[in-house]
Amino acid sequence: MVNDTTLLLDLDGVSVMRVERCEDGGRRVHLATADVSARACPACGVLASRVKGSATTRPRDLPYGERGLEFFWHKRRWFCREPACPRASFTEQIPQIPAGARLTERLRSTAGRRIRDAGSTVIPATRDLHLSWPTVMDAFRTVAHEVVQAPLPEVGVLGIDETRRGKTKWEQDPDTGKWRLTRDRWHTGFVDALGNGGLLGQVEGRTVADVLAWLATTPLEWKKRIRYVAIDMSATYRAAVHTGLPDAIVVVDHFHVVQLTNKMLSLVRRRTTAQVRGRRGRASDPEWKARRRLLRNREDLTDEQFARMWNPLLDEGQIGQTLLTAWIAKESLRNLLALARTGASRHQVGLDRWKFLTWCADSDIPEVRTLATTVDRWWPEIASFIDTGHSNAKSEGINRVIKLVARNAFGFRNATNQRLRTRCVTTRRARGHIRRTRFMQCPGHCGPCCNRRNSSSTSASAF
């Protein structure tokens, strides 16, 4: 019997007989089987015609309202009329409520999809759906299997980066008194650095063997389509790429190159302050006051900010001269990296590289010369970045999401569960569960928006 209540319930295979109000305010729904195929024997498939008895089950379904619904499914037991069938009797079952199931399939799949597609943790799903932690986690593993078993999307630029899993652990040797590292857990992630494929996979560890082990699980035709691999300045990943993807070109992410120059500046500042002043830096020292501006990009400094950094250091003597020399080396390298995506000729790139290396060689600063040596050693990979403009920015963005998932879950004890959760969360856009927000274009005369824009342009042009 199909009635309005049955349509409202929308549970295929059953119909609503009646609804009762319980003493506690809840609602009790009595269901009857409405699918003829429920009489089919699960062993042989023959439709039964002889009733053996009746049974009542109480499957749980999605919550309706604040109190939810309590199901009472009145179903029948049947004798199988096929003599050769090994199963003599059976009870009715439908796809949404299999035999022996305590949950409807749509409740189980909703619990799993809430973690897989909505980025929720297990505990909120258990509270909202009134389920246990193992039940929700098993449902998530079931629906996450579709994500893991799906074929990898075609990737032209592969990004490889690591993220720390937990804190390091040190133990002291009772005999020697030395501290040794006993636990340092990492995950290496493989990302579609150019498309929207998201996280393609993760492997525990960050050695050459770990990277090659994951590449060995991918199809040969998929690996042949990879033209570039974006990494940070890791010799381990470079060696792994040269072994596992010999035809791919390694590209160094420019963010890590600039980060290396900023570390060099901080080392120069600390060393010169300790040598000249014989102590650590203080708030009254000019080099300490300029430490933040030294790490900023030149184009991000206004004329006033640049003068407040440059002039005091220029008047400081040895410390200021050393720091400004190192700062010029940093900006020279940034100018070299800025040639990416500009179509610069090989002559222009070679000229800027020669300027940087010459300045570093003439500086007579150990940290600056070390930076020049590192850049020269990694020059083929840096030159590939200047030619192509590919970066590992998507890997860094996915690492942020990975850390956010671990933080929301208050850490993971099971590394397999962590990789499964992060794989699902970071591939939602590729599966169509996250869409970009489209903003309406400003017509140019809408009032406060344009006034703020015009005032910003005026103030910027003043500098």
Which residues lie below 8 Å from residue 414, measured CB to CB, with a gap of 6+?
none
Q: What are the tokens at 107?
A: 């409740």
What local confidence, expressed as pLDDT, does residue 59 receive? 92
Helix (H) or strand (E) holding 204: strand 199-204
What local confidence, expressed as pLDDT, does residue 446 receive? 55
Q: What are the tokens at 303?
A: 């004329």
Q: Measured between alpha carbons, how far is 87 from 78 in angstroms, rounded to an integer?
A: 11
Helices 105-116 and 415-425, axial angle in degrees (round to 10): 80
What local confidence, expressed as pLDDT, does residue 445 receive? 52
Q: What are the tokens at 301?
A: 């400094």
CA 189 to chain centroid, in Å, comes to 9
What local confidence, expressed as pLDDT, does residue 455 receive? 38
Q: Is 142 helix (H, G, I), strand (E, B) or coil?
A: helix
Residues 129 and 84: beta-carbon distance below 8 Å = no
Residues of the chain short of pLDDT 50, as ranges, are: 439, 448-449, 451-463
What local confidence, expressed as pLDDT, does residue 355 receive? 95
**CA torsion, points 413, 401, 242, 390, in degrees to nearest 10?**
180
Residue with token string 């599966």: 431
What local confidence, expressed as pLDDT, does residue 458 receive? 32
DSSP H stretches of helix in 117-253: 122-129, 133-149, 208-216, 220-224, 235-244
Q: Measured between alpha carbons, how far is 251 from 256 in angstroms, rounded to an integer?
A: 12
Residues 72 and 84: beta-carbon distance below 8 Å = no
What local confidence, expressed as pLDDT, does residue 222 receive? 94
Which residues lie below 8 Å from residue 282, measured CB to CB, with a gap of 6+?
288
What local confidence, expressed as pLDDT, does residue 362 receive? 93
CB-based burial label for 195 (10 Å; 0-12, 13-18, 19+): middle
